[in-house]
Amino acid sequence: MKAIGKISVFVMVVAVMVLTAACAKDSGTSQSASQASLSQEQSSNINPEDLTTLTGVAVGGAHASIELEDENGDVHYFEYPDLDRDDYDTWQEGDTMVVTYVHNDDASIGDSVVSLHQKNAANSDQNR
């Protein structure tokens, strides 16, 4: 009987952990969805004079972010979690990339990436 009680407690603990993780994922998804609609609304209202373009070599990054080293050796970090798939290319370190963005003076918000495309790949498509 004690074993059944311990198993029940274990199952309940696992269930709570799974539900907690699922709720955290759902809240992140809704936040991303609202940010995406805001991002799409903002991109349609962009003044072309506010756009800045930077060309650099990809030196790092992760899912929906990239670090580019420009010709002066300065490294610039960009995030693009809400960018439509058609507005960015896949990349790997060493690829030369061109990012178009709107600068934001508020560092807590960051720059708004409009597009991220390859200028030339470091390796052929066979290596991807």
**In terms of domains, do 65 and 97 share one?**
yes
Residue ranges making up the domain that contains 7: 1-45
Q: What is the mean pLDDT of the chain?
A: 75
**In terms of domains, do 15 and 41 share one?**
yes
* Residue 106: CB atoms within 10 Å: 7
**In terms of domains, do 53 and 113 share one?**
yes
**Lowest model confidence (mean pLDDT) among 46-50, 54-58, 66-70:** 46-50
Number of domains observed in the structure of the chain: 2
**In terms of domains, do 102 and 40 share one?**
no
Q: What is the mean pLDDT of residues 55-74?
A: 95
pLDDT over 90 percentage in the chain: 42
Token duo for residue 45: 């209202």
CATH number of the domain within which 108 lies = 2.40.50.140
**In terms of domains, do 33 and 85 share one?**
no
